[in-house]
Amino acid sequence: MYKKKSLFITFEGIEGSGKSYQCKKLFNKIKRMGLSVIKTREPGGTKGAEKIRNIILDDYFYPDSKEKFNKYTDTLLYLAARSEHIENKIKPSISKRKIVICDRFIDSTLAYQVYGKGVNKNLVDTIHKSILKGIKPDLTFLLKVNISKAMKRLKQRKKKNRYDKFSKSFYNRVQKAFIKIAKTNRKKYFVLDNSKDNKDVEEKIFNKFLKTLKK
């Protein structure tokens, strides 16, 4: 029998890394254990944050538009969505000792906006200090993937959004940024190569979760 305790788990990686799929698999396994768990995502997760997500996506669905959000407008919208998400879902769920599984969190902002697009890191760090309110993941699964394999997976998607349309070189830069971030705290990050379509990664993720839960 496991003690009821809160755990904040995040999944990170580029598009086509399989993180959303693995996120769902872990959620279902935890649910079958009878533990109190929620699955959420960023940007989004609450009504307000999902509205902001739609604004972000809408800007990218019109590539011919003469006027588009610049990288700072884009970043501030992501951070606004995160503020709503933390306040209305993540923080209350943690206080109720639930297990929270989140598809993307602050590492995505650093990898995509800061390292990928050159947004000022001090700006992002300053806003995070105000909105995170001490909330940070207990465990982060970073899924690496062969870039060519990721691009193949993206081509197979029936429904695409702006995240699925970046260049190969951009994804490569972002993935390197994720790996760099993971090296800053080897205890919290669990890095896995998810290039092959097998169940090994799924089992490794679940076993790592169980070990973290027992601590």
Q: In angstroms, rounded to a whole number, what is the distance separating the alpha carbons of residues 73 and 69?
A: 6
What topology does CATH give the domain 7-214? Answer: Rossmann fold (3.40.50)
DSSP class of residue 159?
S
pLDDT digits 0-9 by tens, 13-56: 999 999 999 999 999 999 999 999 999 999 999 999 999 999 98
The residue ranges of every structural domain in the chain are 7-214
* Cβ-Cβ contacts under 8 Å for 155 (sequence gap 6 or more): none
Phi/psi of residue 73, nearest 5 degrees: -60, -45
Best CA proximity match to 145, nearest among 53, 7, 6, 21: 21
Best CA proximity match to 90, nearest among 148, 26, 98, 25: 98
Q: In the prediction, which pLDDT does 173 show?
A: 94
Model confidence band, residue 158 (pLDDT cutoffs 50, 70, 90): low
pLDDT digits 0-9 by tens, 92-118: 999 999 999 999 999 999 999 999 999
Q: In angstroms, rounded to a whole number, what is the distance separating the alpha carbons of residues 187 and 209?
A: 13
Contact 25, 207 (CB under 8 A): no
Tell me the pTM: 0.92
Q: In the prediction, which pLDDT does 161 show?
A: 57
Q: In the prediction, which pLDDT does 186 show?
A: 87
